Amino acid sequence: MAVAIMRARQQCQEAGFDVSTSCRVATAVSELARNIVKYAGQGEIILLRVSAPRGAGIEIRAQDQGPGITDIEKAMEDRYSTGRTLGLGLPGVRRLMDDFDIKTEPGAGTRVTIRKWL
């Protein structure tokens, strides 16, 4: 987890993001990594530099083969948690990033893809 956070911050700085944006991305990675450790036990986080017509950016995919999320709409609401936490992780990540996409199926795992553009 520590490695994922540090790599994310490093990649952001290399990509040319300022300190506070790098901090947002690193925090988003931390949220997703924690979710994997807490709910799925194990999974992976992939950091990618991406480019699109609108410019360059960084993409993070966090995926696991864990139990999945039963009620995704609720999970995206503020202050909803099944794990006695603040319940701000996923909606918070959405606010921190530019693009947010989540695919999940009960029993088949979860994949969150997030992007931040320069």
Partner 1 sequence: MDSATNRTNMCSGLGADELMTLYRIDEGDLQRIREYGKIMAPKLGEMIEEFYIWLRQQPEYARFFSDPDKEASVRKLQHIFWRHFFEAEVDDEYIRSRRSVGEAHARIGLSLQSYFAAVNHFLVMINDTYYDGSQGGPQHGATVSSVSKLVHLDTSLAVETFSALINRQLSEQSRAMMEMSTPVTALWNDILMLPVVGIIDSRRAQDVMTAMLSRIAETRSTVIILDISGVAVVDTAVANHLIKITKATSLMGCECIISGVSPAIAQTIVELGIDVGNVKTTATLQDALTQAFRQTGIVLSSQ
Residue whose entry in the numeric block shows the structure tokens 């990594």: 33
Stretch that binds partner 1, among 17-25, 54-62, 68-76, 105-113 (CB under 8 A): 17-25
95 lies in the binding site for partner 1 (CB under 8 A): yes
* Close Cβ partners of 62 (under 8 Å, ≥ 6 residues apart): 29, 32, 33, 35, 36, 43, 44, 45, 46, 110, 111, 112, 114
Stretch that binds partner 1, among 3-11, 65-73, 99-107, 109-117 (CB under 8 A): 3-11
Residue nearer to partner 1 on the CB measure, 38 or 51: 38
DSSP E strands in 21-79: the ranges are: 43-52, 55-64
Half-sphere exposure of 100 (CA within 13 A, CB side): 15
Size of site (CB under 8 A) for partner 1 = 27
111 lies in the binding site for partner 1 (CB under 8 A): no
Point out which residues pair with 56 in neighbouring strands. 51
Where along the sequence are the contacts to partner 1 (CB under 8 A)?
Answer: 1-2, 5-6, 9, 19-20, 22-24, 26-27, 30-31, 34, 37, 41-42, 78, 85-86, 88-89, 91-92, 95-96
